[in-house]
Structure 1
């Protein structure tokens, strides 16, 4: 890729669920994004400075004959290098496959959006794995028959993490639409990341967020507790941080928050920490820049025409994730 191919400034680029992969062998950052179409898929853009990005290039398309609807845009694509190959994890959808409605005790719930324009019935959704020999693809879906988490779970935003023994896991969010109180869960993976290697384990619930006590549900409405965008990072000394996002202020403000496993174990126990970035910003991930900084990239303005990626510098200590202004 030549430098003169870089032509889209960051502030002009709509971005949801940003994931940046630094590729050392060519000194270039990759930004992956889900795109609509028939078929829908995933595109990548390149940058050398994080400020200006290349035109997009398609690296994955939802294949015909798979369990997912090929016209539904993938969510939250991310790419990880693992054992010499590149693995794309992204969330696919099949709205035509209904899942059981939410039940608590003998009560069955039908959820709808706050403005009552549509119902939020559970339907098939989950993260898949596709593989390629190059971070620019093309990526081939490993298992066309279903997602990695259980197919009867409505899940999203799967990401790769290794435990203390170096074994791979997928950590994902389990939708509040199916649970009311969304969760973050983990499932062990086969060594080649092709499929689950065991049963899921529970990590924590959305209602456990330290700041959720600010929220008081209305008399006629349940307060949904959203879990979104888990991303994990080992801290200096071995503790494990989990970035995740949710809503506060009666669902009106999307925020970037985090949790800490002081033991360093994926199974916790997890201690919920403060909001890192608020004001309708979240779904962040951490990466190390080529100039030696740790960056948090997230999006601000979700669902709006002005949604954009936003960078923050991060300082990591054995027990803290401290966010600072980004200096270009």
Structure 2
């Protein structure tokens, strides 16, 4: 059994769906793999890298080593009469839970006239994934994005998500969570607000991006998430649950986990991160950076959003990049 995201994932055998072999390795992490909001699932000794592809749905690349990647394949095709009209398939995440694979992603919906997160299920990490939450699992009058999945020590599944600043009266985005039904099709509790973007203090904007939950070896629950700060750009912050439960209260660690110039080797901004235990049991953080194209004085592109990977360690009740 492999350990991933607090869940035991069975290694596939002859009775499990066939997995597409990695034949065409055309992309390398070391060559700046283009991406935004990366999410990688380790399953059956392979890495599955999910990305939103707009009106092409969700695509996935496969790797044996986090360095050499196969050409992407479509895993979530858009059905006829799909309700999404723009902002298609932002920040898809794929989680394994009780024998199925689940993608959490958001689109701007003509059902609600808001951005909304939905849940898609498949029996294979390469799909095809189908919607199981009727297009919107969150409150339909909210703009919601960046859904992520967590199972607490009591076995209760949760979805943590962004109540986006665009639908907040003061443009101060919220980080929220709700309990999920066991089939992950709907909430079984009202969403609770964990914190707001500007709780960190003056100078921070209203963005709450990319929540991801992490429990350390002592059972301490924390969340990594992203915001922006004048002069620093996009960064990764850490919030801590004082009770090690979703209900919190949540407090903000003063020191960033990642931001431009935090260390001499952090030369670009970056964020919307996730945490992965690799095949060797090494804990890694993955994010994109920089947060947008960088141009020289003549307007030529000199850098672009690409995958960043670092090792992390637990230290003094928090996590740090090695």
TM-score by length of 2: 0.83
The yes-or-no answer on 1:75 pairing with 2:90 is: yes
Among 67, 73, 81, the alignment partner of 1:51 is 67
Please say if residues 236 and 318 of structure 1, whose CA atoms lie closer than 8 Å, have aligned partners that are also in contact.
Answer: no
Aligned residues: 282
Deviation, 1:303, is 2.9
The yes-or-no answer on 1:261 pairing with 2:241 is: yes
Q: Which residue of 2 aligns with 1:101?
A: none
Among 105, 122, 129, the alignment partner of 1:139 is 129
The yes-or-no answer on 1:6 pairing with 2:22 is: no
Q: Which residue of 1 aligns with 2:51?
A: 33
Deviations 1:274-328 (A, max 9, x none): 211112200000010001100000000223261101001111246111111xxxx
Unaligned stretches of 5+ in structure 2?
A: 1-19, 261-268, 294-302
SS in structure 2 opposite 1:177? Answer: helix
Q: Which residue of 1 aligns with 2:38?
A: 18
Q: Matched residues in 2 for 1:43 and 1:190: separation?
A: 27
Deviation, 1:66, is 3.9
Please say if residues 205 and 229 of structure 2, whose CA atoms lie closer than 8 Å, have aligned partners that are also in contact.
Answer: no
Matches within 5 A, 1:192-207: 192-207=183-198
Q: Which residue of 2 aligns with 1:309?
A: 307
SS in structure 2 opposite 1:226? Answer: coil
Please say if residues 172 and 186 of structure 1, whose CA atoms lie closer than 8 Å, have aligned partners that are also in contact.
Answer: yes
Unaligned stretches of 5+ in structure 1?
A: 99-122, 216-222
Q: Which residue of 1 aligns with 2:114?
A: 124
SS in structure 1 opposite 2:26? Answer: strand
**Which stretch of the first structure deviates more once superposed, 40-49 or 301-310?**
301-310
Please say if residues 206 and 226 of structure 1, whose CA atoms lie closer than 8 Å, have aligned partners that are also in contact.
Answer: yes
RMSD of Structure 2 on Structure 1 (CA)? 1.8
Deviations 1:97-154 (A, max 9, x none): 77xxxxxxxxxxxxxxxxxxxxxxxx5111110100011111011133x311111111
Q: Matched residues in 2 for 1:79 and 1:88: separation?
A: 4
Q: Matched residues in 1 for 2:274 and 2:182: separation?
A: 24
Cα 1:12–1:323 change in 2 (3 A) is: closer
Deviation, 1:67, is 3.1
Q: Matched residues in 1 for 2:316 and 2:120: separation?
A: 34
